[in-house]
Amino acid sequence: MSVKMIRKIIFIFVISLFFQTNNVVADTSGNEELNVSQESDTAQECFEGVSRAMFKFNHALDGAVFEPVAKGYRSLPAGLRKGTGNAVNNLRSLLTLTNNVLQGDFHKAADTAGRFLVNTTVGILGIWDPATALGLEDHGKEDFGQTMGVWGTSSGCYFVLPILGPTTARDAVGLVGNMFLDPVYQVTHNSGMADRSFSEHNYWYYRGTGSVDFRAKNIESFDSVEENSIDLYASLKSLYLQNRNKKILNSKSITETQNDNDWEEIDTN
Amino acid sequence: MKKKIFISIFFIFLFTQKSFAYSSDPKQFITEIVEEVKKILIATNTKEYKTTKLSEIALETVDIKGIAFYSLGKYRKNITDENLKEYLRLFEKYFLKSFTSRLTDYSDPKINVLSTNILNEKYTIVKSVLIGTDKKPEVNIEWRIYTKNPEKPMIRDLIIEGLSLARTQKEEFASVIELNNGDVSKLFDTLKEFISK
């Protein structure tokens, strides 16, 4: 057996291990039931010890770099921050558009495309958001991890990546997929494209700005979670998985995204 | 005669003060709580005053015992009566500290109560929105109201942008217990540590 073949077998084994279906949920009565839609209950740890160590590293890095940068960003004039956030979101909508199409959601794809066209032109490179005023609804961001979830891929196990933070096996593959599907990445990285006025750095500036904008909008939320957690790692894991589950179901109704069964048996009056 | 009238009025006043009843209509119930919380959170009030008043509201309107049971998840099935008693005592302290700490940093929050969604006879969801500022985005908040006793609705969960605080807490508790090989008493130690912080 060649080395190449052995590598291939190991690769397939690791991938199948990551994507093992973990749909068995132990509810509060101790029974086990199959449930597809409550993924926040189901993702097992890939390697918890390593993930917790990685989480500590990320947390320290956030305190030393990301949070101070986010606080500095927040001291900028509101109009400047709003315009920056809008422009980044406008560029990000191209990845959403690709995923809308891959999910077969053509209605949302039409809205996303319309928003991009209006905001890039009338809204001057997305700095303003006239599309909303024109009734073109923002349906939220989509990525390839979500698309794979919509296609029926289970989340696989949960782990923490350095710098990038919480993820699952499916979402980690989605991160790689996002690069190939994101037109902004292609324009800035693909040397075959005619227009080379954008360098690879531009892509990372755009991604970095988006992250800082997000962090700045959530300073108090992060602080509150941090202050009120008895196990911050577990809190953030729960929040991450609930959020991904909600996004994949594309639902705003908590009755679809939350398992009500475990409330049902608790009677206190 | 005057004395009797005075005493009667005094007791009526005392009675109405002690038994201020929130509406039994879930939407109105939340509206009233939000209004009360707003009054408490004005910037001129001290943190101690805010903490005390918010705790009083929580004890009156939140089903702390129900949330405690929920948060313990599958472990509540095997817990001894003595441990359960200790857990409920610790949980109430933990919950009040966590609840008041989350809110006391806000001043003059603007929350619009929007609509209700009756899930079944035991649960109604009340939808509301925390109005955004130039620094913070708008936040959707849903309140899970326990309506088994329709005359006295109680809050059981807050779902912020689709993320349940009760579920997060439950998974956090499970993590602490599992990391200690299923030893529930380690959760008690962790709760004590949090309370004493």
Chain-chain contact of A228 with B101 (C-beta, under 8 angstroms)? yes
Chain-chain contact of B162 with A269 (C-beta, under 8 angstroms)? no
Reading the block at residue A118, the tokens are: 């209006």
B-chain residues within 8 Å CB-CB of A242? 162-164, 167-168
Q: What pLDDT is recorded for position B12?
A: 55
Q: What pLDDT is recorded for position B9?
A: 61
Complex ipTM value: 0.85
| Span B151-167, average pLDDT | 93
Report d(CA A190, CA A196) in Å as an integer: 9
How many other C-beta atoms lie within 10 A of the C-beta of residue A105?
Answer: 18
B-chain residues within 8 Å CB-CB of A78? 134-135
For B182: left if phi > 0, alpha if psi spans -120 to 50, otherwise beta; the answer is left
Checking if the pLDDT of A68 tops 50, the result is yes
Q: How many angstroms separate the Cα of A99 from the Cα of each of A106, A118, A203, A219, B143?
A: 10, 20, 19, 29, 32
A-chain residues within 8 Å CB-CB of B133? none
pTM of the predicted protein model: 0.83
Report d(CA A233, CA A241) in Å as an integer: 12
| Span A253-261, average pLDDT | 61
Chain-chain contact of A254 with B148 (C-beta, under 8 angstroms)? no
Amino acid letter at A55? F
Report d(CA B99, CA B103) in Å as an integer: 7
Q: What pLDDT is recorded for position A17?
A: 45
Checking if the pLDDT of A246 tops 80, the result is yes
Checking if the pLDDT of A193 tops 90, the result is no
Confidence of residue A24 (pLDDT cuts 50, 70, 90): very low
- Residue B142 is given by DSSP the state E
Checking if the pLDDT of B172 tops 90, the result is yes
Scanning every residue of chain A, which has its alpha carbon at the shortest distance from the alpha carbon of B106? A220
Confidence of residue B104 (pLDDT cuts 50, 70, 90): confident
Residue A67, C-beta contacts closer than 8 angstroms, at least 6 positions apart: A215, A219, A222
> Which residue among A27, A238, A258 places its CB closest to the CB of B172?
A238
- Please give the interface size between A and B, counted as residue pairs whose CB atoms are below 8 Å apart: 112
A-chain residues within 8 Å CB-CB of B142? 254
Q: Which residue has the higher pLDDT, A125 or A30?
A: A125
> Which residue among A29, A242, A263 places its CB closest to the CB of B156?
A263
Chain-chain contact of A268 with B63 (C-beta, under 8 angstroms)? yes
Looking at the complex, report in whole angstroms how far the Cα of residue B177 sits from the nearest Cα belonging to chain A: 11
A-chain residues within 8 Å CB-CB of B190? 230-231
Nearest CA to B103 among B65, B56, B162? B56
Three-class SS state of A135: coil
B-chain residues within 8 Å CB-CB of A230? 172-173, 176, 190-191, 193-194
Reading the block at residue A163, the tokens are: 């710098």
B-chain residues within 8 Å CB-CB of A141? none
Looking at the complex, report in whole angstroms how far the Cα of residue B87 sits from the nearest Cα belonging to chain A: 15
Chain-chain contact of A234 with B134 (C-beta, under 8 angstroms)? no
Scanning every residue of chain A, which has its alpha carbon at the shortest distance from the alpha carbon of B75? A28
User: Tens digit of pLDDT for each residue in A124-157?
Assistant: 999 999 999 999 999 999 999 999 999 999 999 9
